[in-house]
Amino acid sequence: MASPARCFPLAWSGLLIVAGLLPAADQKPAAAWSPRVQAVLEAIQPLPSPRRTRLPLYLWPASNPGRLDDAAAEQLVRELDRRGVGLISSWSPAKRETSLSQSLSIARAQTRLGVPVNVNATACLHKFFNGDERTAHVDDAGRPFWDESFDTNSSKHSIGCPFTLDFRVAAIREQVDQFARAYQQAGLKVDFIFADWEIDGPLDYNGAHAAAQRCARCRKQFQDPANFLEFQKTVRDLRSRLQRSVFANPILERFPHALVGNYAVYPHDGYRYWYDYFETFAEGQPHIADQRARYRLWAQEFPATGYTCAMPVVYTWYPTYTWYDFDNGDYRWFYNMLLVASNAGRSTPAEIPIVSFVHWNTTAPPRDPDPAVKQFSRQAYQELLWHMLLRGTDALFLWCMQTEDAEECRLVHEVYAEAQQYAEFLNDGKPVSFEVPKRPGIVVSGIVRENQLLVRRTDFVEGRGDVAIPLGTRTITVQPRPGKCQVLALD
Ligand SMILES: [Zn+2]
């Protein structure tokens, strides 16, 4: 998700057919399900021990397998669960009957097998700003206008006036609730449901503040229309309330124990350490500078959404590499991504699961990427995933493009599978370190459970011996053990 490339699915599949990676229309795939799901099954192996109580691993290609009969649905759900993977169904109002019947079939199989029922509700939330002129900003001459600062090369977005959307709530809520209602009527529940609701609704960054200051309706809403902090608080509160009304509430009213979340919405320390592909820095806005990075002041939007899981985004966004001057290129990626993950881990209450989106291949590169931007190494990426797990990430959610499926799935699954031996630590333990070294050095993360510490140490410098880390009133010595976790006894 969150890549401009997903806007070209037809072009992509055409290229892939030419390249021989997908069957052409007249060659039926051998499996009952989609080629992407089959690629997942072939790329990864069953877990050494059952998943039990750990949250599943979520993989973008392990979703929407197509029309399956009950036996095939059950076979697929079982095969994926043996690998620790949760199959996801998408709800699509534009294809209501088809998407409902396909997702009900999978939900029935998941329920029979006693594994979580997982849903992608992205399409149900689109869109508040549907082009209706009643939702546009309005200038001093009474003419409607749109904020075009969220348009990308591949798509236009009619971002309008945040104070016009009340009349859209009932329609969007019903887009969600019609599916939730059908599940309930079928005697099914939802365990995990997320949306990728991003470039829609009230937004505060890019040119949003400038557009609001041009809008006669917006200006009346603020004591000081030029004050960004007042603007941000007001707009993000509106954005949170909309998400609660149309998404969190209708789901939780029917399924009180569901994990509900939205891409990129999570508790944090007041700053955002990354930019989505459609986001740009607007000069003058409040931020922290770190070398060439500018971390934006971010509103505390999570609590008012009513969401029950946090969904940070830990991606190799292309510009990240050029923000820092570390000689060790891997540490440019690792440093930023660990900042993002640690921020969410430290800021999220223990009872709120963190489901982190991850992506290894350089994310959203330009058409002619600079060869100086080096791909994150596999090894350092897997180390990062370990440190995320030891800093509060409860579940990993891989997003990737079809050409990347096999390798992306394999990398994240290797860590998920190996971490299964530490399930008790990961389920019940308490992370003890959120430190991110400002220079390539030694990164240590750990989880305490009862009288044991599960710890991992990754060195970005050579030749260092034991290191001491503070743990409460004590100091714990951690020896180098590359590529391995250690379980230390606490007296
Ligand atoms: Zn306005």
Domain at 211, CATH number: 3.20.20
**Phi, psi dihedrals of residue 288, rounded to the nearest 5°:** -105, 130
Cα 76 to Cα 87: distance, rounded to the nearest angstrom: 8
Cα of 384 vs centre of ligand 1, distance in Å, is: 42
Cα of 171 vs centre of ligand 1, distance in Å, is: 21
Give yes or no for residue 396 having a pLDDT over 90.
yes
Give yes or no for residue 9 having a pLDDT over 50.
no
Cα of 128 vs centre of ligand 1, distance in Å, is: 14
Residue 489 structure tokens: 């006894």
Bridge partners (DSSP) listed for residue 477: 468
Residue 293 structure tokens: 């990075």
Give yes or no for residue 22 having a pLDDT over 80.
no
Write down how long the chain is: 491
Residue 302 structure tokens: 């999570």
Cα of 138 vs centre of ligand 1, distance in Å, is: 6
Give yes or no for residue 209 having a pLDDT over 50.
yes
Domain that holds residue 130: 30-428
The reported pLDDT for the residue numbered 146 is 98
* Residue 483 domain-assigned (yes or no): no
Question: What is the biggest distance separating any 2 CA atoms in the chain, rounded to whole angstroms?
Answer: 74
* Residue 15 domain-assigned (yes or no): no
Cα of 161 vs centre of ligand 1, distance in Å, is: 4
Q: Which of 138, 188, 187 is nearest to 163 (CA)?
A: 138
The reported pLDDT for the residue numbered 158 is 85
Q: How confident is the model at residue 17 (pLDDT cuts 50, 70, 90)?
A: very low
Average pLDDT over residues 434-438: 97
Cα 57 to Cα 183: distance, rounded to the nearest angstrom: 23
Cα of 207 vs centre of ligand 1, distance in Å, is: 12
Secondary structure string (H, E, C) spanning the chain: CCCHHHHCHHHHHHHHHHCCCCCCCCCCCCCCCCHHHHHHHHHCCCCCCCCCCCCCEEECCCECCCCCCHHHHHHHHHHHHHCCECCEEECCHHHHHHHHHHHHHHHHHHHHHCCCCEEECHHHHCCCCCCCHHHCEECCCCCEECEHHHCCCCCCCCECCHHHHHHHHHHHHHHHHHHHHHHHHCCCCCCEEEECCCCCCCCCCCCHHHHHHHCHHHHCCCCCCCCHHHHHHHHHHHHHHHHHHHHHHHHHHHCCCCEEEECCCCCCCCEECCCCCCCCCCCCCCEEEECCEEEEECCCCHHHHCCCCECCEEEEECCHHHHCCCCCHHHHHHHHHHHHHHHHHHHCCCCCCEEEEEEEEEECCCCCCCCCCCCCCHHHHHHHHHHHHCCCCCEEEECCCHHHHHHHHHHHHHHHHHHHHHHHHHHHCEECCCCCCCCCCEEEEEEEECCEEEEEEEECCCCCCCEEEEECCEEEEECCCCCCEEEEECC
Bridge partners (DSSP) listed for residue 192: 118, 259
Higher-confidence position of 226 and 153: 226
Cα of 136 vs centre of ligand 1, distance in Å, is: 7
Average pLDDT over residues 125-135: 96
368: which residues sit within 8 A by CB, 6+ positions away?
none
Cα of 164 vs centre of ligand 1, distance in Å, is: 8
Q: Which of 44, 123, 98, 109 is nearest to 74 (CA)?
A: 109
* Residue 454 domain-assigned (yes or no): no
| Sheet-wide strand order for 271-272 | 271-272, 293-297, 287-290
* Residue 24 domain-assigned (yes or no): no
Cα of 127 vs centre of ligand 1, distance in Å, is: 17
* Residue 261 domain-assigned (yes or no): yes
- Percent of the chain clearing pLDDT 70 (strictly above): 94
Cα 427 to Cα 53: distance, rounded to the nearest angstrom: 8
Cα of 447 vs centre of ligand 1, distance in Å, is: 47
Q: What angle do CA 477, 479, 484 make, to 5 degrees?
A: 125
pTM of the model: 0.93
* Residue 18 domain-assigned (yes or no): no
* Residue 487 domain-assigned (yes or no): no
Q: Are 360 and 376 in contact (CB under 8 A)?
A: yes
The reported pLDDT for the residue numbered 26 is 52
Q: Give the chain's mean pLDDT.
A: 93
Cα of 279 vs centre of ligand 1, distance in Å, is: 20
Average pLDDT over residues 270-285: 95
Query: How far from the centroid of its chain's Cα atoms is residue 142's Cα?
Result: 39
Q: How confident is the model at residue 473 (pLDDT cuts 50, 70, 90)?
A: confident
Residue 251 structure tokens: 């789901």
Give yes or no for residue 255 having a pLDDT over 50.
yes
> How many Å from the N-terminal Cα to the C-terminal Cα in the chain?
45
* Residue 456 domain-assigned (yes or no): no
Q: Which of 54, 49, 47, 50 is nearest to 425 (CA)?
A: 54
Cα of 212 vs centre of ligand 1, distance in Å, is: 5
Cα of 146 vs centre of ligand 1, distance in Å, is: 9
Higher-confidence position of 27 and 229: 229
Residue 34 structure tokens: 């989609």
Looking at the 3D structure of the chain, how many domains does it have? 1
Average pLDDT over residues 42-54: 94
